[in-house]
Amino acid sequence: MHFGGATFSVNEGEFVVILGPSGAGKSTILNLLGGMDKPSSGEIIVGGEDISKYTDNQLTNYRAENIGFIFQFYNILPTLTVLENVQIVNDIVKKPKDAREVLKEVGLLKHESKFPNQLSGGEQQRVSIARAIAKDPILLLCDEPTGALDSKTGVEVLKLLKKQCDANEGANTVIIVTHNSLIAEIADRVIRVKNGKVESNEINKSPKKIEEVEW
């Protein structure tokens, strides 16, 4: 993808960390990749197609079928139960995973009837992960997914993101945007950004296991 000074590419199946300080353009990159924003110039090639040329309808389909999004502050709906927050996906994608099945995967089945304000921050983030994973997206985009969590809870969240990356025989791509350089230690690829530009894009030859990092 390239827009302005931000040119980079990643391979299918990678666990990617985009690292940079606040204001570097990380969220902008993620929103462009997710089809939530359009670049003023440049192109964004995903799976061989330039999504920057898509019509609004095409972008809606692209987001619905291919993209999972995880935000720093969860963005789950306060008036829906945990289960209902995940079942929303049934209205969006053709072949959603079973919502209860996914809640079991993230360890939240016992809370399925609770509302978000009855859960901890880490639990709420796991609901948002369950919602994203229920779509079984080929591209999971995570904007500071551990930014509001303590390190122990953050580790649980990263484990779930890694698991999604390894699903589908490793074909899923996960991109995490963060200012926390520790997260880069577990990535297959690290892209450093600053002032709206990509400074480096490197394969991590020996990614650490999540447990090996001193959080």
Q: Interface with ligand ADP by CB under 6 A: which range of 2-10, 65-73, 153-161, 204-212? A: 2-10
Q: What is the residue whose two structure tokens read 């720093």?
A: 72
Binding footprint of Mg ion, residue count (CB under 5 A):
1
**Considering only residues 1, 17, 19, 24, which one is a binding residue for ligand ADP as defined by CB under 6 A?**
24
Residues 9-28 that bind Mg ion (CB under 5 A): 27
Residues 169-198 that bind ligand ADP (CB under 6 A): 196
Q: Which amino acid is at 117?
A: N
Q: Does 146 bind Mg ion (CB under 5 A)?
A: no
CA dist., res. 34 & res. 22, Å (int): 20
> 76 to each of 35, 44, 115, 127, 208, how far by Cα in Å?
20, 28, 10, 8, 31
How large is the C-alpha radius of gyration of the chain?
A: 17
Q: Which residues contact 76 (CB under 8 A, 6 or more apart)?
A: 85, 116, 124, 127, 128, 131
Q: What is the residue whose two structure tokens read 């303590």?
A: 150
State in angstroms the smallest separation of the CB of 27 from ligand ADP. Answer: 3
Nearer to ligand ADP, 22 or 117 (CB): 22
State in angstroms the smallest separation of the CB of 178 from Mg ion. Answer: 9
> In the complex, which residues of this chain contact ligand ADP (CB under 6 A)?
3-6, 20, 22-28, 196
> In the complex, which residues of this chain contact Mg ion (CB under 5 A)?
27
